[in-house]
Chains A and B, each alone.
Chain A
Amino acid sequence: MLSSHNINVALIGNPNVGKTSVFNQLTGLNQQVGNYPGITVEKKIGFCKLPNNYKANILDLPGTYSLNASSIDENVVIELLLNKNDKLYPDVALVVTDVENLKRNLLLFTQIKDLEIPTILVINMADRMKHKGISLDIPFLEEKLKTKIALISSRKGTGIEELKQLIVNYKSIPKEPCLNASVIDEEYFETLRKTFPNQLLYKLWLVITQDVNFLNLDRNEIRNSYTKSHSDLKRLQQKETIKRYQFINDVLKEGLKIDTSIAKDFRSVLDRVLTHKVWGYAIFFFILFGIFQSIFEWSKIPMDFIDSSFASLSALASEKLPAGVLTNLIAQGIIPGIGGILIFIPQIAFLFMFISILEESGYMSRVVFLMDKIMRKFGLSGKSIVPLISGTACAIPAIMATRNIENWKERLITILVTPFTTCSARLPVYAIIIALVIPEKRVFGIVNMQGLTLMLLYLLGFGMAIFSAYILNKILKIKGKTYFVVEMPNYKLPMFKNVAINVIEKTKAFIFGAGKIILAISIVLWFLASYGPGEKFKNAEKIVIEKNQAKPLNTSELRNAIASQKLENSYIGLMGKTIEPVISPLGYDWKIGVAIISSFAAREVFVGTLATIYSVGDSNNDTTIRNKMQAEIHPETGQKIFNFASGISLLLFYAFAMQCASTIAITKKETNSWKWPLGQLLFMSSLAYLVALIAFQILKNRI
C-alpha cells in the first residue's frame, strides 16, 4: 500500500505509447483509481514489488505531448512535477516512448530532464523494431540523453525485470538536463536567474507560461516583472520547441537507424480503406450495427438472470426476515433498488469492451477523422461521435467520454445533447407503450409497425440531439479557439489485459458513482409510497371494508383493494393527484402521474410503478399487466386511458424528458457547475411537456 518508504515512480508519456500497458505490467491488478481533489481527472496509483525487497508506488499520470498544458488532464502532470512537497512527488520519472515515434516522444523527455528529476527513458514496443527495420545504439543514446534506457515490450512482457532493476538503482541516474534551452533568449533568462537565484530556471519558465496552480513561487511577482505579451511568449515557446527538436535530431542521427527497405507498412493500406468516402462510412455503420446487435443480444440472458435473482432475493427477504417496517424497506426498497443498478452491468460492460477495443486498435481516430466535417455543421466535433454512440447504452459513461474534446464549447454541447440519444433505460418504457397503442400490423406486407415505431424513436432521439446541438451552437456565446489536432496512431491488436482492466474499472465507477444516487432515490420512493398523511391512509383497511359491506370481498380482492386505497392516499399518490391538472392536458391520469414522478430518478421505474398500481384492485391474477392497462378507462371521458393519442404523447414525453438523476449528477461533475445540468433538466422537461401536449391535443379528436 501507499507508503513513504516506497520509491515514488511517476509514469509520464505521450498518448498512444502503451503507457497504460506498462502500468498494468508493473502493477498487475494491484491498482487504485481515484480522482485528483476537486477535478474529475482519474488518478491511478499502483504498487509494485521490486528486486532486493524494494517496493514502489507507481503513479500513472495522464498522457501529455509536452509540459505545455492544454487540458485539465495535462495540468495535473505539471502541478505534480512542480510541487516537491506533494507526497507523490516522484523520486524517479519514467518517460515512456514508442520506438516508432521516438523523435516526437523525446520532446517531453527533454523537458522532464530540465526539471532535474532522475529520469529513466523507457522505449516501448521494442518487438516492432525488427519488423520496421529500426536499430538503436543504446550506450550512445544513454550518454547523450544523460539517462538510463530500458528497452521493453509491454505487449510481450520483455524488459520489465530490467526496468524494475533500474528503478531500484534510481539514485545513480544523472539529474542534469541534456540540453540548455535558455539560449533562446539569453538576456531574458539571465535576469530571471539573477532575480530568483534559488529557483530552477525551467521551473520559472513553466510558471510564467503555464496556467497552473503553483504554491511555492509567487507567480504574480514573477509575472508582473517578467511579463511578455502572449504572442511573444508563444514565439519563445516555438523557439524552445525548435531548439529541443534540433538537439533530438542530432542525437537520433547517430543513435537511431532505420532500414526502410525492411519496413512493411499496413497502415497506409488500412487507412485508404477505412477513411474511404464510401467504404469508410459503410464499414463504420456496419461496425456500429454489429455493436448494437451484440450489446442487446448478449446482455439479454445476464440481465434476465439479474432481474429474476433480485426478484427472488426480495421474496426470500420478506419471507425469512421478521415482518416489520425494516423488512419492508429491505425487501421492497433496498433490494429492488440495488437490482435496478446491477441490471445495467451487462450492457455497460459490453459497451465499454467494444469502445475500449475500438480505441486500443486505433480505429476510433479514423472515425473521428471521417465524421469531423459533418459533426462540425452542428457545433460538435468529430470527437463527439464517441459519446453519441455510447449514449445508446447509457448517458453516464457517454458524458465521461467527452473529456478528450479539447474545445470547451464543442465539449459542453456534446454533454448537453447526449441524454437525447435513446438509452437502454427508455427501452422497457417504449416496449410496453408500443405494445398497447400501436397495432400489430404490417405495412407493405413486410414492415412491422411496432418495430418501425421503435426505430423511429431511436432516430428521433438522435435527430433531436443533433438539432439541439445546432440550436445551442447558435445560442451559446463561448469564445475559445477551435482547434483540432488528432493523432492518428498505428493500428494495433487490442491487448486483452488492457481491455479487461478498463472494463472492470469503468463498470465499477458506474456502480459506485451512479449507484449511490439510484439507491438513495429508490429508498425515498419506497417511503413515499408506503406512508401517507391523514385518516384515509391510516384507516385504509376499515374504509375499504365499510365501503364493500354490501358485497363482501374475498381475501385477495380485499388485500388488493386495501393496497389500492393506501397507494392512492400515500404521499406519492397525493403527489400524483396534485400534478394531475398539469398532466391531464397530455392525456394522463394521476396513476401515470405517480409513475412519472417515481421514474424521475430512473426512467425504467415507470413500468414497475404502473405494474404495481394496476396490479392492485384486480382479483384476476392471470391477467397480464398489459391487459390491465389496456382495460383501464378514464372515469370522466369514458375513453381508454392508454389510447393512441395518450400513448404517442407518453412515448414523446419519455423520448425527450430528462428523467435520470445520475445524468444530472454526472453533468454537474463534468461541467463543475449546477447551471448546466439544471438548464438541461429545464430544457428537456419543457420540450418533453410541450411536444407531448401538442401531440395529444392534435391526436385526441381523431380517435
Chain B
Amino acid sequence: MQTTLNTLKKGEKAIIKEFDVDAVPLKLLEMGCLPGNVVELLQIAPFGDPLYLNINGSHVAIRVETAKEIEVDVIENN
C-alpha cells in the first residue's frame, strides 16, 4: 500500500517519492517539496487539517488535500 504525506504521525520523518505534478502547486515544489528530500510532520492543526511540515529545512503549512497527492517513504526511527 502506498503511503502519502497526510498519513504521517506527528514527529515522523519521511522521504518524498513521486507525485503528480499537476496536483501540487509549483510554489510547494519551490519550497523544497521535491522527490528525494526529507519531510517531517511537525504539527497537525486542531480538527486534523492543515499540516505543519518541515520540508528540506522550509517550514510550511499545507492542506490535507494537497498532502494526499504526495507519496512518501517513512524513515523508521530507531
Contacts and interface: CB of A to CB of B under 8 A. Distances in A.
Interface string A556-584: 00000000000000000000000000000
A372 B50 contact: yes
B49 A372 contact: yes
Interface in B12-66: 21-22, 25-32, 34-35, 37, 42-43, 45-50, 52, 56-63, 65-66
Contacts of B61: 365, 368-369, 372, 484-486, 488
B50 A369 contact: yes
A107 B30 contact: yes
A671 interface: no
B46 A277 contact: yes
Given A103-B56, A488-B60, A382 B27 contact: no
Interface stretch (A236-244, A353-361, A519-527): A236-244
A592 B30 CA distance: 58
Interface size class of B (residues with CB under 8 A): 20 to 34
Which of B34, B56, B58 has the most chain A CB atoms inside 10 A of its CB?
B58
Nearest to B64: A373
A246 to B, nearest CB: 9
B25 A485 contact: yes
Contacts, number: 115
Contacts of A628: none
A115 B43 CA distance: 39
Interface in A397-447: none
B27 A485 contact: yes
A675 B57 CA distance: 44
Contact of A372 (B45, B57, B60): B45
A230 B43 CA distance: 34
Which of B21, B30, B66 has the most chain A CB atoms inside 10 A of its CB?
B30
A237 B57 CA distance: 21
A554 B56 CA distance: 85
Given A234-B22, A372-B50, A373-B47, A104 B34 contact: no
Given A70-B26, A272-B43, A281-B46, A483 B60 contact: no
A487 B58 contact: yes
Interface of B (DSSP majority class):
mixed
B38 to A, nearest CB: 12
B22 A369 contact: no
B59 A488 contact: yes
Contacts of A216: none
A369 B45 contact: yes
Contacts of B49: 372-373
A489 B59 contact: yes
A275 B45 CA distance: 7
A275 B65 CA distance: 20
Contacts of B31: 65, 104, 485, 487
A234 B26 contact: yes
Given A271-B52, A489-B59, A65 B30 contact: yes
A278 to B, nearest CB: 8
A194 B32 CA distance: 33
Contacts of B45: 275, 369-370, 372-373
A56 B59 CA distance: 35
Interface string A469-484: 0000000000001111
A614 interface: no
B29 A241 contact: yes
A373 B52 CA distance: 13
Contact of A104 (B22, B52, B57, B66): B57
Contacts of A487: 31, 58-60
A364 to B, nearest CB: 12
A272 B52 CA distance: 11
Contacts of A370: 45-46
Contacts of A280: 46
A267 B42 CA distance: 11
18 contacts: A66-B27, A66-B30, A68-B27, A101-B58, A104-B58, A237-B26, A241-B30, A242-B35, A275-B46, A373-B47, A373-B49, A373-B50, A481-B25, A485-B66, A486-B61, A487-B58, A488-B59, A488-B60
Closest 10 CB pairs of A and B: A277-B46, A488-B59, A483-B25, A373-B47, A486-B61, A66-B30, A373-B49, A369-B61, A484-B63, A104-B58
Interface of A: 65-66, 68, 70, 101, 103-104, 107, 230-231, 234-235, 237-238, 241-242, 245, 267-268, 271-272, 275, 277, 280-281, 365, 368-370, 372-374, 382, 481-490
Given A267-B59, A369-B50, 15 more contacts: A65-B27, A70-B27, A104-B31, A104-B57, A107-B30, A234-B22, A234-B26, A242-B35, A372-B49, A372-B50, A482-B63, A484-B50, A486-B60, A486-B62, A488-B52
